Chains A and B, each alone.
Chain A
Amino acid sequence: MALSRREFLQGTTAAAAALGLSAGTPSLLTAAPRDSRLGGAPRTAGDAASRDLALLALDAAKSAGATYADARVSRNNVRNVSTREQRVLGLVDNETFGIGVRVLVDGAWGFAATNDLTRDEVIRVAQQAVAQARANRSALRRPVTLAPVTPTAEGTWRSPARIDPFDVAIEEQVGLLLQANEAALKVLKPGGRGMGFVNSSMFFLREEKTLATTDGTFVVQTIYRAQPNMTCQAVNVTAGDFQSRQSTDIQPMGRGYEHVLDANLVVNAERWATEAMQKLGAKSVDVGRYDLILHPTHLWLTIHESIAHPTELDRALGFEANYAGTSFVAPPESVLGKLKYGPEFMNVQADRSQEGSLGAVGWDDEGVQPDEYLIIKNGIFNDYQTTREQAPYLADWYASQGKPVRSHGNSYAQTWADVQFQRMPNVSLLPGEQDLVWDDLIAATDRGIAIVGDGSFSIDQQRYNAQFGGQLFYEIRGGKIVGMLKDVAYQIRTPEFWNSMDMLGGKRSYELGGAFGDGKGQPAQSNAVSHGCPPTRHKQVNVINTGRQG
């Protein structure tokens, strides 16, 4: 190895902790034009030069006529290590750094962004956003109003990452994946014979982000995300069959490299490979209605699609009708406090605070401190996900509940180049009061299918009709698992599905699953959120067989 680890780190790490925030309370005055050579070019998204540029953008936007502006300087570092069998497919370090400026002019939005972090360019971009907002005014019918916010004059937040993945030697990361691959191949290709494949990867994100708003908020955050991944594939060439097992037991988290170490990849790889082989010999499912027992590693995705998405207020109001769709949870006045989503023991919480969750932040991308709230309370629909622009639409409902009109802090943009909009926080099904676990649900079931891990998924544009696959399917007879099934998918109509839930695991069986690349918006932006849940049982769900022959 020609480079020492220390030399290597010099090229890949940044002084993320050195945020240079001791300069006192920011005000627009401190951003008065200064020779850029004095401040220098920003090196991190949280340094003094980035702060100057963000405040400069606000000044330029106000001077050009904006009534409100926010500026986000962010630097995203991504590392992706990917392998197949005994080979490295890619070692990639990506960095993107820039500024995005959003403005309101007479109630119309404008947004412009650039990678060129010079003073002249930042001023140009701020003015461009204002000019664009003026152009957008021509097609304005209802001017934007923003819910009030309590500004944070000076704030920092950091994910609970113990080990910065960018500080870990690349040889160690590659070595771990190749070792896991070897363990899987021993099962998939015993004695080196037969056909079997394994892909593995680890993906890390570190985002440093400065947000300044004309309301007086100035916050700097460092966000980590980590996702180890593995797919074992068993092949029966003669039968023309192949089956995969993805590592869905290990979900992505808002943590550092410790999440990969905790994943125990080498030991788990052998089991995932064994399960892929077992799927080749599994019985193809008989279509029909079954009681389903859904593991948290599977159920998080059903929650994501059938609860978290339909309760986004922009969807309910029609703002996403051209892509993501609208929602069956609408119109707000007909469903808030009225719609029976599920049984009385069903409570669904939204938050951006669960330790290690993908959605955790200190402030959202318009400077709001997110709160915890119940989307579904005792089975009844209770609240939507909101941003500052959206919360005023619910003023009547909040007044009836004695609550102030306030954003829930659910605004997010994937990078500096994208405009922020309403994105879901962590949305989680709270555990039941009884101390039930997975095995208890199986033991209580006479005829059913237990599903582990998320698989194929598809849902309509109002979130009524969905179809979900999985990783592993087990046939249950008389309270016991009697064998493995394949070609299983279930189809639901959301309200019936949640109202058919008759068992819910307790606190001990609660786990966090998560979506790493949830798409929404045009242009489509990717969001990462966690969904916690215990296992559940649902009565008499429609199961189809997907193993169609040509």
Chain B
Amino acid sequence: MSGPRSLFGAMAPHLGRLQAEALCKRVLGFSTADEMRVNVNSGATANTRFAVNQISTAGDNTNVSITVRAIFGKKAGSATTNRTDDESLRAVVQRAEALARLAPEDPEMLPELGPQTYVGAGGFAQATASLDPAGRAAAVRSITDPAADAGLVSTGYLEANTGSVAVATSRGLFAWRESTAVALTTTVRTPDGTGSGWAGATSHDWSRIDAAALGARAIEKARRSVNPVAIEPGRYTVVLEPTAVGNLVQLIAGAAQARSADEGRSFFSKPGGGTKIGMKVVDERVTLLSDPLDPDAYGTTFGGDGLPSRKMTWIENGVVKNLAYDRWWAQQKGAEASSFPGSLRMLGGTTSIEDMIASTERGLLVTRFWYIRPVDPRTILYTGLTRDGTFLIENGRVTRAVKNLRWNESPIFMLNNVEAMGVPVRVSASESGGPGQAVVVPPLKVRDFTFTSLSDAV
């Protein structure tokens, strides 16, 4: 991480394969433990924020983190540093070893992995790695200038990350992957605060994001969302734009852990014992999967322990096909362990959003959801609100903006009430506007979506 560098990282600020391997070897060379694992994350994060039609703050930082896990017999401890000189590396190894020696034995201890075979690589784009402050400012202006010209107020965020992750073990495993991720989101409001529209996009590749088009979408939403009217909370047919679908569907992946299901404390627990693998839980048109090489949603090709990620189907035609097993639980249950690659795809259909609206007598069109928090893990029930573009559909047409609504709903109930599905697209599903996990989902038309109260927030 030393040596001459240009101001804005013309040289990669993350460790290449050979550099990462050499660093891991240096760390392992200091080990006196029975076994050791080293995880190295390195890279640069760059961001530009804008508010009230101008850049507010920005940031560029570079960092590396080296995490050492030391094992003596069945005892383990971990320590992390972000300094790469020999003294610091020796010290972090000693800290991990000291913790491990003083730890009680772990009955679930497994040996570290030896060399593994990984699927190919993808998910690094030079356009993202080379995005500099001037490039970010230009993208921002392609949103703020039209918004200001239209008499509207734009606020937003652009984040670009470039980095590599590596893992090595004292048993000879080494894995390395470099990746990029970029996210751009904007919220455009009317100056009187009666209208608000949002648009966002995320990808590994900056060249796939059209900042001006994204801004234009948010501007159009802001204009159409002014002066919303109150409607009665209750159960509504909803047309959910892909972002709203992603906000909710990604919650299922988080709950799909085999162990908590076997332990009787998950939606995926079968009443009476065991898991719901093999049981139909949602509409038969629903299939959810993760593929680390999905070209629209590249994921990690290995987990923190070096275990290879592979394509996993969680729900197939409505039936639970797989749950995530760590190495220990897989061994206990005779299942295959797999790491979650941090990407998710829901298969879709062919109905356009326009056709979903046209076929709806009375319902709501939802742009996205916000402040989504768990309420009841027994049903994966969450609460949250609509935000930045919620519209009334009457007799097949969008007629006017409505006030935002709080809902209490589960993605499981939602996917049991599917009326129509569209073509899946990559969405910006993270509330914070960062790249988050890669999510590809279709727009959906769903009946009986449960709204419990009105909000005055615009």
Contact = CB atoms under 8 A, between A and B. Distances in A.
Contact of B102 (A1, A111, A118, A463): A1
Contacts of B107: 87
B229 to A, nearest CB: 16
Contact of A41 (B58, B85, B371, B453): B85
A518 interface: no
B363 interface: no
A318 B51 contact: yes
Given A88-B106, A139-B50, A460-B404, A547 B79 contact: no
A93 B78 contact: yes
B453 A461 contact: no
B208 interface: no
Given A3-B102, A322-B157, A323-B157, A459 B371 contact: yes
Given A41-B85, A93-B79, A464-B455, A318 B52 contact: yes
Nearest to B105: A88
Interface of A: 1-3, 7-8, 11-12, 41, 87-88, 90-98, 100, 108-118, 121, 124, 127-129, 131-132, 135-136, 138-142, 169-171, 174, 178, 195, 197, 233, 235, 237-242, 317-323, 325-326, 328, 330, 417-419, 421, 456-465, 467, 469, 487, 489, 491, 493, 519, 522-524, 542, 544, 546-550
Interface string B371-404: 1111111110101110100000000000000001
Given A96-B65, A96-B82, A174-B104, A418 B59 contact: yes
B137 A92 contact: no
Contact of A417 (B57, B61, B104, B413): B61
A522 B58 contact: no
B264 A544 contact: no
A220 B436 CA distance: 35
A115 B83 contact: yes
B376 to A, nearest CB: 5
A493 B456 contact: yes
Nearest to B92: A95
B294 to A, nearest CB: 25
A458 B387 CA distance: 13
A45 to B, nearest CB: 13
Contacts of B137: 135-136, 138-139
Given A92-B79, A93-B80, A489 B375 contact: yes
B456 A328 contact: yes
A524 B434 CA distance: 8
B271 A240 contact: yes
Interface in B427-457: 431-434, 450, 452-457
A239 B383 CA distance: 24
B192 to A, nearest CB: 10
Nearest 7 A/B pairs, CB to CB: A462-B457, A465-B455, A113-B61, A460-B457, A135-B133, A240-B271, A522-B157
A456 B81 CA distance: 34
Contacts of A169: 102
B2 interface: yes
A2 B55 CA distance: 56
B3 to A, nearest CB: 9
Interface in B417-435: 431-434
Q: Which of A91, A169, A550 lies at the interface centre, i.e. has the most chain B CB atoms within 10 A of its CB? A: A91
A108 B137 CA distance: 12
Given A3-B102, A136-B133, A139-B140, A464 B456 contact: yes
16 contacts: A2-B101, A91-B76, A111-B58, A131-B8, A138-B138, A139-B144, A171-B102, A195-B265, A233-B265, A235-B263, A323-B433, A419-B59, A421-B57, A458-B383, A467-B406, A548-B381
B337 interface: no
Given A460-B371, A460-B406, A235 B432 contact: no
B106 A111 contact: no
B54 A140 contact: yes
B101 A1 contact: yes
Contacts of A12: 95, 98
B155 A318 contact: yes
B458 interface: yes
Nearest to A128: B7
B141 interface: yes
Contacts of B385: 458, 460-461, 465
B140 A115 contact: no
Contacts of B14: none
A398 B125 CA distance: 51
Contacts of B452: 467, 491, 544
Given A456-B375, A548-B408, A112 B60 contact: yes
Interface string B99-116: 111111011100000000
B378 to A, nearest CB: 7
B290 to A, nearest CB: 24
Contacts of B54: 139-142
Interface stretch (B41-49, B240-248, B308-316): B41-49
A239 B264 CA distance: 10
A98 B269 contact: no
A544 B457 contact: no
Nearest to A487: B376
A132 B432 contact: no
Given A141-B52, A461-B370, A546 B433 contact: no
A380 to B, nearest CB: 20
Interface string B60-85: 11111101000010001111111101
Contacts of A131: 7-8, 133
Contact of B64 (A108, A115, A136, A460): A115
A72 to B, nearest CB: 12
A487 B377 CA distance: 12
Contacts of A87: 106-108
Given A322-B186, A456-B373, A465-B385, A121 B269 contact: no
A141 B53 contact: yes
B141 A132 contact: no
Contacts of A544: 408, 452
Contacts of A132: 58, 60, 133
A92 B80 contact: yes
B85 to A, nearest CB: 7
Interface in B254-268: 263-265
A103 B353 CA distance: 47
B185 interface: yes
B141 A240 contact: no
